């Protein structure tokens, strides 16, 4: 049987705002993530108007990667990582988003960071923005509901593409660009596009307006990047949670098929360079007024991505008999969602479905026929440090092993073209949806708790050596 390609990008993924800390250092401005408090499995994170003195904002210090990056990258190198996925915090480069000049100290930080990776032969895989829009753009421009923000984003992209053109080859434009489709949880629109829906507005129209501007910004950035360095590989990045029908009732098959438009809308535009008919029909049917300007079709057609990056954690199930509720779910919820009776869930209620990863890889490959990249996958759980400093995380190892097995089947058996695998939170970090530290994904433990206490000391978990061996054997020994 053939194997994974030799140049397969085994790596680890994080996001600037979830690890860096140093939120106001060296000229960095506040981002949308810097006004978000801690929530919990059943408690939404609060978005405050400004940074309030008596509130705790977990991203302000995060795991202080800003000051620990050398030590952390040394550990990544010891693990054998070939790729490290992170983002460039937009507000280190343009503190307010509309500044006339970029902030040199911010640019220098990423120069140093990428040099440190390259020193060990670790390929940086960079997301232009991972929920890090300057707060000023969200507050005073209305985020991506305002077309001016498109130009400001493209300028930011141009500055970093030019600066790092010889250091970074793999890029993605917007992290989990499709999160905003779940506008029932205000955190998703806020972090994706800096938008808050006002009373009396049609949230779907607001969402699609911001979505259109984000898609235009992504397409313009892709085109600009290719102009700066034709060898760049620039991808999209979507959150992918496949939606299954509960059973073989044709009504459920069709419901699941239609629900999947929630997942395909963004990659359909970014990969194919045009709006899918089902979306145009929806705009027409529901009378949604989306500001698509003359020339936009051309922009989308000229900004197709080279590959599709995606996160995969779980799957969903729908049943047309399910009762719809207005209940807001911190983790996101789709209409007609029900539990899957065949699989278990994590402590945070995320369905554990390794086969769904192979299914996803096949569906994406069949639909798009461009290289795929699993840029997030992982298991959020509570970890315990034993008295001797060891951390045993067999459940995490099991989760990753089973997903890697399915990934290998997709490549070796099904022939899917896959660039790499960068599991999420290779080092413990602040959870995006809840703001907790307690929900840990890492193979490296960080001594820091939900209230911001701890020494920031780094410790290896059992999964550290396990993953190191997986990489050494190119996935032959799991």
Active-site positions read 376
Contact status: 433 vs ligand BG6 (CB under 6 A): yes
Binding part of the chain for ligand BG6, among 143-151, 290-298, 403-411, 426-434 by CB under 6 A, reads 426-434
Other beta carbons less than 10 A from residue 458's beta carbon? 18
Q: Which is nearer to ligand BG6, 96 or 331 (CB)?
A: 331
Nearest-approach distance from CB 98 to ligand BG6, in angstroms: 25
Angstrom CA distances, 280 to 182, 305, 376, stand at 19, 21, 30
Nearest-approach distance from CB 439 to ligand BG6, in angstroms: 5
Contact status: 309 vs ligand BG6 (CB under 6 A): no
Closest CA to 215 of 183, 257, 260, 180: 180
Binding part of the chain for ligand BG6, among 40-48, 104-112, 250-258, 427-435 by CB under 6 A, reads 427-435
> In the bound complex, which residue of the shown chain has the CB atom lying closest to ligand BG6?
433
Binding residues for ligand BG6 restricted to 211-270, rule: CB under 6 A: 239
Half-sphere exposure (Cβ direction) of 313: Cα atoms closer than 13 Å? 19
Q: Which is nearer to ligand BG6, 136 or 377 (CB)?
A: 377
Contacts of 410 (CB under 8 A, 6+ apart): 357, 358, 361, 362, 365, 416, 418
Contact status: 176 vs ligand BG6 (CB under 6 A): yes
d(CA 112, CA 96): 23
Contact status: 15 vs ligand BG6 (CB under 6 A): yes
**Quick check: helix, strand or coil at residue 265?**
helix
Alpha helices in 22-88 (DSSP H): 65-79
Burial label for 114, CB within 10 Å (0-12, 13-18, 19+), is buried
Binding residues for ligand BG6 restricted to 315-374, rule: CB under 6 A: none
Q: Tokens at residue 44, please?
A: 């939404």
Q: Which is nearer to ligand BG6, 239 or 463 (CB)?
A: 239
Q: Which is nearer to ligand BG6, 316 or 433 (CB)?
A: 433
Nearest-approach distance from CB 434 to ligand BG6, in angstroms: 6
Closest CA to 401 of 458, 473, 342: 473
Q: What residue has token string 């620990």? A: 68
Q: Tokens at residue 89, please?
A: 């915090």
Contact status: 175 vs ligand BG6 (CB under 6 A): yes
Closest CA to 307 of 125, 113, 151, 161: 125
Contact status: 311 vs ligand BG6 (CB under 6 A): yes
Contact (CB, 8 A) for 10 and 470: yes
Nearest-approach distance from CB 440 to ligand BG6, in angstroms: 9
Nearest-approach distance from CB 366 to ligand BG6, in angstroms: 24
Contact status: 431 vs ligand BG6 (CB under 6 A): yes
Q: Which of 188, 190, 424, 464 binds ligand BG6 (CB under 6 A)?
A: 424
Other beta carbons less than 10 A from residue 12's beta carbon? 29
d(CA 448, CA 255): 43
Q: Which is nearer to ligand BG6, 65 or 275 (CB)?
A: 65
Nearest-approach distance from CB 364 to ligand BG6, in angstroms: 17
Half-sphere exposure (Cβ direction) of 255: Cα atoms closer than 13 Å? 21
Nearest-approach distance from CB 432 to ligand BG6, in angstroms: 3
Q: Which is nearer to ligand BG6, 299 or 419 (CB)?
A: 419
Binding part of the chain for ligand BG6, among 64-72, 145-153, 289-297, 430-438 by CB under 6 A, reads 430-438
Q: Tokens at residue 253, please?
A: 């098959």
Q: How many residues belong to the site for ligand BG6 (CB under 6 A)? A: 14
Contact status: 432 vs ligand BG6 (CB under 6 A): yes
Residues that bind ligand BG6 (CB under 6 A): 15, 18, 175-176, 239, 311, 376, 380, 424, 431-434, 439
């Amino acid at each position: 049987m053939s194997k994974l390609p030799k140049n397969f990008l085994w790596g680890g993924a994080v996001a600037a705002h979830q690890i860096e800390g140093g939120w106001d250092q060296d000229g960095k401005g506040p981002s949308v993530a810097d006004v978000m408090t801690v929530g919990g499995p059943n408690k939404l994170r609060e978005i405050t108007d400004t940074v309030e003195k008596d509130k705790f904002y977990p991203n302000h210090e995060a795991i202080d990667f800003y000051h620990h990056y050398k030590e952390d990258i040394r550990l990544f190198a010891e693990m054998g990582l070939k790729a490290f996925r992170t983002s460039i915090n937009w507000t280190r480069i343009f503190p307010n988003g509309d500044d006339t000049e970029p902030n040199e100290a911010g640019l220098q930080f990423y120069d140093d960071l990428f040099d440190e990776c390259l020193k060990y032969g670790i390929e940086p895989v960079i997301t232009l923005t991972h929920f890090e829009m300057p707060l000023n753009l969200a507050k005073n421009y209305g985020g991506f509901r305002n077309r001016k923000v498109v130009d400001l984003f493209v300028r930011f992209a141009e500055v970093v593409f030019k600066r790092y053109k010889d250091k970074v080859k793999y890029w993605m434009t917007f992290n989990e660009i499709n999160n905003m489709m779940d506008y029932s949880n205000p955190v998703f629109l806020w972090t994706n596009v800096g938008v808050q829906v006002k009373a009396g507005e049609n949230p779907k129209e607001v969402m699609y307006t911001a979505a259109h501007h984000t898609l235009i910004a992504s397409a313009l950035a892709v085109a600009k990047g290719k102009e700066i360095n034709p060898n760049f590989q620039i991808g999209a990045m979507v959150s992918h949670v496949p939606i299954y029908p509960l059973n073989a009732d044709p009504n459920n098959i069709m419901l699941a098929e239609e629900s999947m438009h929630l997942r395909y809308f963004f990659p359909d535009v970014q990969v194919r360079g045009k709006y899918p008919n089902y979306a145009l029909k929806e705009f027409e049917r529901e009378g949604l007024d989306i500001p698509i300007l003359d020339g936009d079709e051309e922009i989308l057609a000229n900004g197709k991505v080279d590959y599709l990056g995606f996160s995969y954690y779980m799957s969903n199930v729908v049943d047309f008999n399910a009762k719809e509720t207005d209940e807001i779910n911190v983790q996101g919820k789709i209409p007609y969602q029900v539990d899957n009776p065949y699989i278990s869930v994590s402590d945070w209620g995320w369905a554990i479905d390794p086969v769904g990863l192979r299914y996803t890889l096949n569906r994406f490959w069949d639909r798009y026929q461009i290289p795929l990249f699993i840029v997030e996958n992982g298991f959020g759980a509570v970890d315990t440090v034993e008295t001797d400093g060891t951390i045993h995380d067999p459940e995490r190892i099991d989760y990753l092993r089973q997903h890697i097995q399915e990934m290998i089947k997709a490549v070796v058996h099904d022939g899917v073209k896959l660039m790499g695998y960068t599991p999420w939170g290779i080092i413990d970090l602040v959870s995006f949806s809840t703001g907790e530290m307690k929900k840990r994904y890492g193979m490296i433990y960080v001594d820091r708790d939900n209230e911001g206490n701890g020494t920031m000391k780094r410790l290896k978990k059992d999964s550290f050596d396990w993953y190191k061996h997986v990489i050494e054997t190119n996935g032959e020994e799991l």
